[in-house]
Each structure stands twice: as C-alpha cells, then as structure tokens.
Structure 1
C-alpha cells in the first residue's frame, strides 16, 4: 500500500524520540511535494486563485514540509499548521524561519478528535494522511468543515496504491517478492487502523459533513531513475519500514529485499524509479 509510509504521532510516551520521528516525517513530506503542486493546480482550476487565498490550515502538519510548501504556493496567505505535537511544531517554526516564511507560517497545538482552536476562517483546509488515524472520521470532517469560510475548499489526501519501483522483468517483481512485501505491509496497517479505513467511502463522509462538489481521484507522481538523494532515501526506508511491518514473509523474500535496500542505499543499484500515487478528495463548503 503506497501510503504505509505515513507518520502517526499520537499518544507517545515521554521517552519518545521526536527528533527521529521528525526526520522520518520530513522525508515523507518532501517526497510528496510534486503531488502538492499538482493538487494546488487542481484547486486553481476549481476557482481558488492562489493570489486571493488568505488563509490555509494544514492539519496534522508534523514538521511542516508541506506547510511551508503551501505557503510558497499561496504567497498571499497565512498558513497555520495544526498538530498534536509541540515538538514537531517547533521543527515547523524552525523550517519557516529558515525559509523566510515565519511572518506567514504559524504552528498551533490542536487535536482533531477534540474541539479545534479558533483559527479564523480558512480558504483551504489541507488534511494529508491524517484523518484515517482518528476514531470518528465523520465527526472530524465536521470539525474541519467548521474551519472553512463559505466557498472554502477541503483537501483530503489518503492512501494510494502500491508504488512501482522496478520494471516488470526485474526478479523482485517477476517472482512476486515486491507484491508480497506490499501486501504484508498493507495487512499490518489494516490491523492497526479502524476497520475499513483503507478504501473508506470518504466522499460520503465529506457530503455528510455538509460539503459539496466532491471530487475523488488518484493523483500520480514519479521520480525517474537514477534516483536523486530524496527519493532514494524514501525508497530505502519504504522497504525497511515494510519489512518491519510485514509478518511471516518467506525468508528468501526478506533476504532479497534486505539486499535490495542496501544496494540502493549504497548506490550499487541505480535502476530503481518511483511511481506513486495518493487518493485526493476535494470538496467545497457551500456559499
């Protein structure tokens, strides 16, 4: 499952390694930046002129890679990053300062499963790979709808399909090893989430929250071979994270995937590419 590299950072104990979590989430955030640009283009086509967008809220913003990218796309906007973790929000503030965005990018502690802080009406609410973590997604989407001004848009980004990283004739693909890794990681993820969360009927949830003009599609993005540093790091971690989630993979599969990750990391394999997608839903609060 293409999204099993999401970051979930609720309910961690006091000894949790927030720096390591932030590092991982920064790689994940940077990896999807081509998707962000594509979705912003869709918003523009839907009538949300970037020059007239005054306030964007990025919920579950983590260390703020996408938050700051949204500020770059919407250059007249204040962008509020909302997250449960003060530790991750401190990384957001640092990033905003280093990017010269600290006058427009702000972090606010808030929990999607509780009443949200008063943030002022938003033109766009961006919720990427976060709503599937809550106990009651429908109630959460009602809260997010309440952040929008009339005519504002909610962007919901959820799990896509399995990424493709090698041609069909490569032994890892041809022998089914890659597919078994993805299937096992998806099964592990499904056990961790509420039942039915992967592939959920989000369109009905959005309509039930009072939103209209709902669109629901898969948006693809790609990195060509030879991979540059960022997608190469993402791919290595995707494989190793999948191996950590996957249970009862055949020993031959595990050995082949461990060797593949090491070869990519060391630069011994330059043929992998990445073709990934995410499910992107957009909806509008009625005027």
Structure 2
C-alpha cells in the first residue's frame, strides 16, 4: 500500500481509537516535566508526533525515521496543524549509529521497534540519549483491529490475521518480544506494563467504515500469494459491502511498556 494510504490508515486508527490515545497520553504526560523534549523513534507519517504535540502543548518533538517520503508527509501535516515550530524531523537509520540528538525526557516508540534488525543495539543508543530520570515508552500491537462480527466473515478475518502474523515472523520482524526484558537489559527500570483491550460496538465513529475498508484492503494485498482466489474475492466483496453494514465492531489489543532511566 502506498505511503498515502498507510498514512490515512494510521490517521483513522488515531481518530477511531481516540479514547485509548487520550488515556495513554494522559498517563504518560502526567509523568513528564514541564516543556519536555520527546524523541519519536520510527515516527513514520507522524501520527504519534502530532498527537504528542497536540496533547502536550509545551512539548518539543524530534521525529526520527529512515523514510524521507514519510518525513515529508509528517512535515506537511504538522504545518497543517500549526505544529511546525514544535516538531523537528531527522532522517536516520535506527539500525546504524544515530546522529547527534538533544537528550530526551521521553523516548516514544510506537509500533516501530519490531522493525529493527538489532533492537538491543538500538536500545543501548536510546539509553544514552535518555536524560537521567527520563522515560521510554514502547507501544506495540499484535495486528490492526478486527472488524467483522458475522461468524463466517470473522473466521476469514482471523485466518488472514494469522497468515499475516506468520509472514511478519518470516520477514524477521520482532513480534511478540518481551520488551520489558529488553529495556531492563539496556539499563532502564521498567515501571509499568499495561495491556489495553479495546472493544468498540455500534454506534461507531463515522470514520470506522473507511478505517475497516483500508485495513481489509491492506490485508488483501499483503496476502495475494497466500490466499485462494475464492478468499481474495471474498475479501473484495467484504470491503465493498462495508458501507452497507450495521454490525461492524472494532476489537484491538495494545501493550505499553514504560521504563525510566535511573536518575
């Protein structure tokens, strides 16, 4: 899927699950000093950077990513939100030695650490970047949400999610990692591990249908080599039929680890 569609999907994730994001940022923000500097590792299209900047109006954000196109998108959206003075972008490969960055009161890594080739080396660099007493927040998800309630449709959705999970592991992604253990090995003190079990039932936010369509379309393109012709056609029919359905739900799981560098 093109970056524009991925960006839209992530924007919709934040919009549909806004109550979760508010609770998460309230929790973490309450533990930060005034005027914190936050480093967003693997910032991507900038949904997290912009949410942090909006929610924490005295914070400054350094958004780090290897993808120049995504960073350009991030800068454009930050300007649209009048946040360009508070969000600075840095292009860097997190699997290589990092460029010099201002020490961070919070390092934020949302659905990004599992992409790294060597997470242990990256966490060592992150520890050096964290101010004494500063925080590291790791946010991970097993998959994008599930939407389908009808048993037959839900069975196909579950099969697709299982196939995508297997594909991620084949590609070397660090899914299901014990990030608390890795953070402790890097020198941090893990202060919390929270599981967010999210369930939204009708009536749902207006953006939910588009969110579900993009998620199913992304799933379909990612599994073209693993699904039968009949299964691919069924996914196409489901995506086309979503605007006419009143039984959509949103079910998601997110895990958050919070760790502190000793003062």
TM-score, normalising length: structure 2: 0.88
1:218 is aligned to 2:192: no
8 Å contact kept, 1:207–1:214: no
Q: Which is worse superposed, 88-97 or 123-132?
A: 88-97
1:146 counterpart SS class: helix
Deviation at 1:44, TM superposition (A): 4.0
Distance 1:32 1:160 in 2: 16
249, 257, 260: which one aligns with 1:281: 257
- Using the TM superposition, give the Cα deviation of residue 40 of structure 1 relative to its aligned residue in structure 2, in angstroms: 1.5
Q: Name which of 17, 27, 32 aligns with 1:48.
A: 32
Q: String of CA shifts for 1:119-174, please: whole Å, max 9, x gaps.
A: 2111111111111111111111111222211111111112336733233x54323x
Structure 1 vs Structure 2 CA RMSD? 2.3
CA distance in 2, matches of 1:255, 1:230: 24
| Residue of structure 1 equivalent to 2:215 | 238
Aligned counterparts of 1:92 and 1:251: Cα–Cα separation in 2? 37
Q: Hey, what does 1:108 align to over in structure 2?
A: 90
Give the conservation status (yes or no) of the 8 Å contact 2:48–2:110: no
Cα distance change, pair 146–218 in 1 and its aligned pair in 2 (3 A): same
- Say which is worse superposed, 27-36 or 97-106, in terms of deviation: 27-36
Look up the match of 1:81: 63
User: How far apart are residue 32 of structure 1 and its match?
Assistant: 3.4
Give the equivalent residue in structure 2 for 1:3: none
- Secondary structure at the residue paired with 2:244? coil
* Residue 222 of structure 1: how far off its partner (Å): 4.5
Partner-residue secondary structure (3-state), 1:278: strand
Instruction: Encode CA deviations 1:20-53: one digit per residue, 9 max, x unaligned.
Output: 31441242144136343222122145x325xx14
Counterpart check, 1:187 vs 2:169: no
1:199 alignment partner in structure 2: 176
Corresponding residue number in structure 2 for 1:13: none
Counterparts of 1:10-29 in structure 2, within 5 Å, are 20-29=2-11
The CA distance in 2 between the partners of 1:37 and 1:142, in whole Å, is 29
> Which residue of 135, 152, 155 maps to 2:137?
155
Are the structure 2 counterparts of residues 230 and 162 from structure 1 closer, same or farther at C-alpha, using a change threshold of 3 Å? closer
In the alignment, the residues of structure 1 paired with residue 26 and residue 3 of structure 2 have an alpha-carbon distance, to the nearest angstrom, of 30
**1:117 aligns to 2:99 (yes or no):** yes
Bigger mean CA deviation after superposition, 82-91 or 25-34: 25-34
In the comparison of the two structures, how many residue pairs are matched? 259
Return 5+ residue gaps in structure 1 as ranges. 1-6, 8-19
* Cα displacement string for residues 93-124 of structure 1 (whole angstroms, at most 9, x for unaligned residues): 22111111111111111121122222211111
1:94-105 equivalences in 2 (<5 Å): 94-105=76-87
1:54 deviates by 1.8
CA contact (8 A) 1:185 1:243 kept: no
Q: Distance in 1 between matches of 2:8 and 2:107?
A: 20
Please, what TM-score do these two structures have when normalized by structure 1?
0.81
